[in-house]
Amino acid sequence: MKLSLLNAADKIVQYLWREGDKRYLFPDCIRPADSEPPPHYLFTSGAKDEVEAAWMAAINKEIKRVLT
């Protein structure tokens, strides 16, 4: 039952988006270009950099503590 409701919702969203696009209801700034990476990729790559920076800071702090 739940799966069919999700499929119906997806189809409704797809239909509304297609109709809105056909009638030019959305400005160009919200239409993704083929050359743009997906937002999820950008978010995860930024999060990965922050995690690596935090790990390096923790490792450097521990090395300084051991050496002193």
pTM score, whole prediction:
0.35
**Domain range annotation of the chain:** 2-67
For 8, 26, 40, 55, 66, the CA distances from 46, given in Å and listed in that order, are: 34, 28, 10, 14, 31
> Looking at residue 42, what is its pLDDT?
56
For the CA atoms of 27, 31, 12, 1, the dihedral, rounded to the nearest 10 degrees, stands at -140
Top pLDDT among 38 and 62 is at 62
Distance, in Å, from the CA atom of 59 to the CA atom of 65, rounded to the nearest integer, reads: 10
Q: Residue 19's CB: how many other CB atoms inside 10 A?
A: 10
Asked if 20 and 26 touch (Cβ cutoff 8 Å), the reply is yes
pLDDT tens sequence across 25-60 = 877 666 666 666 566 655 666 666 777 788 888 888
